[in-house]
Amino acid sequence: MKLDQKKLEARTLQIIRRLKHKERPCRFDLPTSIGSTQIRGLIQALCEQINGEDSDG
């Protein structure tokens, strides 16, 4: 299953809103159908910005 850019952006924004609402450290697993290290890296970078700190995992 491939996600197009719009769906990916919408999903990412949804995750970000949820994280901001809960104000918790960013920890979640992406579906294995995505499985892209680039996407994982992107979301990890976003999470680090949200959390205001660098995190190794």
The per-residue pLDDT for range 23-56, each reduced to its tens digit, is: 555 556 555 555 567 677 788 888 888 877 654 5
Listed in sequence order, the DSSP H helices in 1-57 are: 5-22, 37-51
Can you give the residue range of the structural domain that contains 44?
5-51
Helices 5-22, 37-51: inter-axial angle, 10-degree rounding: 30
Domain assignment present for residue 56? The answer is no
pTM of the model: 0.33
Q: Is a pLDDT exceeding 50 seen at residue 6?
A: yes
**pLDDT value for 23:** 56
* pLDDT average, residue stretch 1-5: 67
Cβ pair 5, 34 in contact under 8 A: no
16 confidence band (pLDDT: 50, 70, 90)? confident
Domain assignment present for residue 30? The answer is yes
Question: How many independent structural domains does the chain possess?
Answer: 1
DSSP one-letter code for 7: H
